[in-house]
Amino acid sequence: MSGGRGTLEETRTIKPLTRRLCEGALGLYGLRDAHLEPLVGGFVEVYLVRTADGEDFVLRLYGLSHVDEAAMREDPRLRTGPGLRSPDTIHAQLSWVASLGRETGLLVPEPMLTSEGSLVGRVSVEGMQTERHCALLRWVPGLHRAKDPSPEDLSLLGSFVARMHDHSERHPLPEPVALPRWDHSWPFGDSAPLWEEGQRFYSEEEMGVFVETARHSKEILEELGEGADVFGVIHRDLKLDNVVFHRGKAGVLDFDACGLGHYLLDLCRVRRNLTSTHPNRLRELWNAFMGGYEATRPLPEGHRGYFGTFAAIQTVAAVNRQVALLATGGPRKKTRDPRFLSNAVGLLKRMSANWALLPLGMQELPYKLGAVIGAA
């Protein structure tokens, strides 16, 4: 703990200006004399905060979004990029997470209010040219088991996700426009990096594979529709790194990408993560997850047949991220293996040749095809 002047404990990994910024942010919540530990860097900086009386919180500092707020109100699809960091979007996400925890009892981070009653704070310090937005959330206790999850763990996670989707269906948002839309335009919209920069990495024939995938996906999503029973607020990044387990419950963290989308996208994100991290246990863990999910929220008849389409959507979304990074000279540590781009188009070719198999559901696909869908 720090001394009596209420400053955050200095660490070698926190620069003085950043430390003052964090002090200012915590001051908005009336917190003094707290220990600060950096957890995640980048566009969103995340810190563990431990108060003098032993309470734990998470402080999130957001980079500024340069997307016009008025334009995003007209088209929420703009929020899937830098618009994710707009104060309106952050406020909408935190409001929904607060509602989820309050009305279901699920283990999620509890957003805290500033002393002025706001979920999103604004902070600046001398020496910084711009202000930053911030949020404070109560720490979620629990253990990470991403490296060695048990079937019981996945069943608990499945139950959590089902209850979260039930809450989305039964509690429609009064102002959903502030949330991003993870719909067909997310990977295939006119401004997708794939259409703007893809010719630098793909031949005309290969670009045609993406065009066909976009066409097929649009048909399937239109068939599925956007009724409240299939489309609502989703987490959108359900990987095991964002899950903890505590006293027989699963807890889910990092709702930084939550927005409007098909519930099946959340399920396919889980499978994608399991396939890439535990390919030899995929069937066991996936069946446990789906067992936990369907014990609470059975999938409508035929909905397993949509999994392949959502796998293709996720693959193209990953291609967009890679193309954007390579085209702009982004951080090397964030780019994938160079083979990813060619492997992705090869995967989509195999999928397009097997669209008739995809309605069987991903677990019934030929093993090699099912595995590569999850790994892409």
Q: For residue range 226-242, list pLDDT tens digits in order.
A: 999 999 999 999 999 99
- Backbone φ and ψ for 339, nearest 5 degrees, come out as -70, -15
Predicted confidence at residue 75, as pLDDT, reads: 72
In the predicted model, is pLDDT for residue 371 greater than 80?
no
* CATH class, range 151-375: alpha beta
Q: Where are the domains of the chain?
A: 16-138, 151-375
Predicted confidence at residue 236, as pLDDT, reads: 96
Per residue in 312-356, pLDDT (tens digit) is 999 999 999 899 888 777 665 555 566 888 889 888 888 776 654
Instruction: Indicate the pTM of the whole model.
Output: 0.86
Q: What is the mean pLDDT of residues 27-39?
A: 91
- CATH level 3 topology of 16-138: Phosphorylase Kinase; domain 1 (3.30.200)
Same fold, 16-138 and 151-375: no
Predicted confidence at residue 1, as pLDDT, reads: 24
In the predicted model, is pLDDT for residue 96 greater than 80?
yes
Q: Which amino acid is at 238?
A: L
Lowest-confidence segment of 51-55, 126-130, 234-238, 256-260 by average pLDDT? 126-130
